Amino acid sequence: MAGLVGCVNEPSPRFSVDTVLSTMKVTPRSRTIAVDKVTLPSYAKETNLFMRNAAGALVPVPQADWADDPERALSLTLVRNLTEITGAKVALDPWPLDGEPEADLRVEVEEMIVNANRVMTLSGQYAVRRGSSRTSDTVQPFSVKTNAASLKAQDIVAAHAQVWKQLAERIAKSL
């Protein structure tokens, strides 16, 4: 039995993204906003944290797993930052309050990766749908970037926090 102890794989350390709150303030057209859906590419949904190596391949960051489901984490970060930036009531769908939200937000991420040069990119598109006033609905592409301090897991995670904040700031201007 003692020989089996050495065969057990140690679990990878798990990393959570600390929310970086924005200091931006925007007055939105909508007072209530539902974050309807955030979708990520398949590699970004994985438990492993990924990066793009010099050859262009997506590879797991050694000894680094997400502590939470990345879609859930990004959704909750958007809720928190959009609440701070706009002062609106922002919540995940299904809408938990009485009535219907004045706006629904959907985010489709096509790329969420740091490359071998330490550049973190978050790109895709977001859509804001407003209740009965369809004239102010919008679909906007986005691409935000920041530099990771290094290719160590904790610095890659910190870079994720920065681009997630930048995305919230960009979306807030559309609300």
Q: Check residue 10 and give its pLDDT.
A: 75
* Helix residue ranges, H only, 87-172: 153-172
Q: How far is CA 7 from CA 1, 63, 168, in A?
A: 11, 17, 44
**Predicted confidence pLDDT, tens digits, the chain (175 residues):** 455 555 556 778 999 988 888 999 999 999 999 999 899 999 999 999 999 999 999 999 999 999 999 999 999 999 999 999 999 999 999 999 999 999 999 999 999 999 999 999 999 999 999 876 666 789 999 999 999 999 999 999 999 999 999 999 999 999 9
Q: How far is CA 105 from CA 6, 36, 83, 130, 157, in A?
A: 49, 5, 13, 9, 24
Radius of gyration of the chain (CA): 18
Q: Check residue 161 and give its pLDDT.
A: 95
Q: Is 70 helix (H, G, I), strand (E, B) or coil?
A: helix
Residue 4 per-residue DSSP state: H
Q: CB-side exposure of 26: number of CA atoms within 13 Å?
A: 19
Rounded-to-integer distance, Cα 113 and Cα 54, Å: 13
Q: Check residue 137 and give its pLDDT.
A: 87
For the chain, give the longest Cα–Cα distance: 70
Rounded-to-integer distance, Cα 134 and Cα 126, Å: 16
Domains of the chain by start residue, with CATH = 29-172 (3.40.50.10610)
